[in-house]
Structure 1
């Protein structure tokens, strides 16, 4: 299954040595591209958008860079208001431009590392054994098992607990919504209520293993 990322996670990769971007629902790691063309001025527009969503660069129907009619030549060309970047052909024919690179980076699947979540959700995970509470941002498409993987950074023994909501054990193979934790952010905003005050909670109950007595 594809791995989902939150915009916050993408934004952490914002340097030339670790550069991610998202567009049209996909998350791409362009670090290899930055290394391949290191020092090239055509990297500048990409570097300026490190860690950001650049969906506005693309036509959602063609999945290609947006185009426009050049007012001077009358020809259709890529629309790059931030400046021409890697794999975009020059405005005029040139003999020094190599076009034998195969797929342009925005169509090359080797750079895709996952999908950008359509919506993030905040949840509270409460350890009933230690009384510790962790507020966690997750992807709405993730199953509880995938959320557990996120929570392991806070509690390496999280898989030894039973996860419950309203006293009912959760199905770890289903999403929050499928488990009955409805996303009511829109209703809260409509009622002008602070969503942070109504963050759903998941209780973790430790599974005690009694010693075997034959």
Structure 2
């Protein structure tokens, strides 16, 4: 997945930043009051849906899936819930092995079920909050001024500027440093891969090396001006 392709263009032609999330970030949103799921490469905040249908038994499969990827619920080609042939009626029906959920019609007409809800939640863009990273990476960031170091899990699609935004939690003045790898100044508008920092996870696995024994490190060099963030 190309990070440039997925961000899209605004009316002015500027790139719109649509955030990437790691699976662990999605997994952290796993309560009734804060419920996210991912499917088909997107991340969705279903908290408003849960609030709207509070107490509805049809929420059960969604609540059980809180914080998880539910791509297996969907047909990737149709971008819709999977369908199957009902063995009893020989008619098409939605495939819901975890049980019927919100906006899925009943197998037979019911007087208390209405289909005037508009767009089904899984097709409604209002729940969309970003992209699920196809591959995450762990990178060590070392502050050469203080000798402090931090290992961050980042999305391979993120630019260095977006990784900087993650790092701000550990250093509010992160933008006041020059970021370098192997002595070369990094282009903050490019990804790790585009900056020549290759993903070596597969190589480490083949060599049976512990990831922590060889972690690619980005060095931060302090500039004269402190940037207030």
| TM-score, length-scaled by structure 1 | 0.96
**1:38 corresponding residue in structure 2:** 54
Flag the structure with larger Rg: 1
**2:188 corresponding residue in structure 1:** 172
Quick check: 1:155 aligned with 2:171? yes
Q: Secondary structure at the match of 1:134?
A: strand
Map residues 21-60 of structure 1 onto 2, 5 A cutoff.
21-60=37-76
User: Which of 172, 175, 189 pairs up with 2:205?
Assistant: 189
**1:102 corresponding residue in structure 2:** 118
Q: Distance in 1 between matches of 2:213 and 2:133?
A: 23
**1:212 corresponding residue in structure 2:** none
Q: Secondary structure at the match of 1:142?
A: coil
Could you give the per-residue CA deviations for residues 13-37 of structure 1, whole angstroms, max 9, x where no partner exists? Answer: 0000000000000000000000000
Map residues 104-119 of structure 1 onto 2, 5 A cutoff.
104-119=120-135
Q: Secondary structure at the match of 2:38?
A: strand
**1:71 corresponding residue in structure 2:** 87
**1:136 corresponding residue in structure 2:** 152
Q: Distance in 2 between matches of 1:188 and 1:153?
A: 29
| TM-score, length-scaled by structure 2 | 0.89
Map residues 9-28 of structure 1 onto 2, 5 A cutoff.
9-28=25-44
Aligned positions, number: 209
1:95 CA drift (Å): 2.5
Q: Which runs of 4+ in 1 moved over 6 A?
A: none
1:196 CA drift (Å): 2.8
Aligned-residue CA RMSD in angstroms? 0.9
Where does the alignment leave 5 or more consecutive residues of structure 2 unmatched?
A: 1-16
User: Which of 126, 138, 149 pairs up with 1:122?
Assistant: 138
Could you give the per-residue CA deviations for residues 79-119 of structure 1, whole angstroms, max 9, x where no partner exists? Answer: 11111000000011122211011110000000000000010
Q: Distance in 2 between matches of 1:190 and 1:79?
A: 39
Where does the alignment leave 5 or more consecutive residues of structure 1 unmatched?
A: 210-214
